[in-house]
Amino acid sequence: PVFAGMNGSAIENFSCVIYNISLMNCTWQAGRNAPGDTQYFLYWKNQINGDAMECKHYIKDESGRNTGCRFQNVRIELEKAYFLVEGSSNHSLIQFYDEYIQLYKIEKLMPPLNITVSCDEIKYSCTIKWQQPQISHSDKPKCFKYEVNIKYK
């Protein structure tokens, strides 16, 4: 496909992470060949029947250029969300960047809750219990694997 715009003007190193259950940060870098006045705008679509929505809370660099977005109240509703970053400049056409991302793959999990340890000195055994962490996309226990690391015996 032929994309309108100057080569190297689209954003680079686009990445997003979901944390604290419903917050998402996306960041990017300006294109290497983008003119200095280039401004970028992020749109995303996360619902089957919904429209693409523009970022409401941009992260800006020293020169006021948009280099990221903070999202609140994110819910994982589609298998893949669609992200589009467009640019504008008074000097040239700017190439767009788009990507589909499986949101559950970028979610940073919260730690397990209510961890308790009880030991029986007579049986030389300990029992460790916890509740699964909250996540935005599933409440199925089978989705979790845990590792217990005992440093001192």
Residue 95: what residue type?
Q
**What Å distances lie between residue 71 and 12, 16, 58, 96, CA to CA?**
20, 10, 9, 21
The confidence band for 152, taking pLDDT boundaries of 50, 70 and 90, is confident
Residues 14-72 have pLDDT tens digits of 999 999 988 999 999 999 999 999 999 999 998 777 788 999 999 999 989 999 999 99
95: number of Cβ within 10 Å:
20
* CATH assignment of 12-105, among 3.50.20.10, 2.60.40.10, 3.40.50.720, 3.40.50.1000: 2.60.40.10
CA 123 to CA 63: how far, in whole Å?
A: 65
Residues in a beta bridge with 23: 19
Q: Is residue 56 within 8 Å of 101, Cβ to Cβ?
A: no
Phi-psi domain of 40 (left: phi exceeds 0; alpha: psi -120 through 50; beta: other): beta
Closest CA to 137 of 81, 78, 50: 78
Residue 2: pLDDT above 60? no
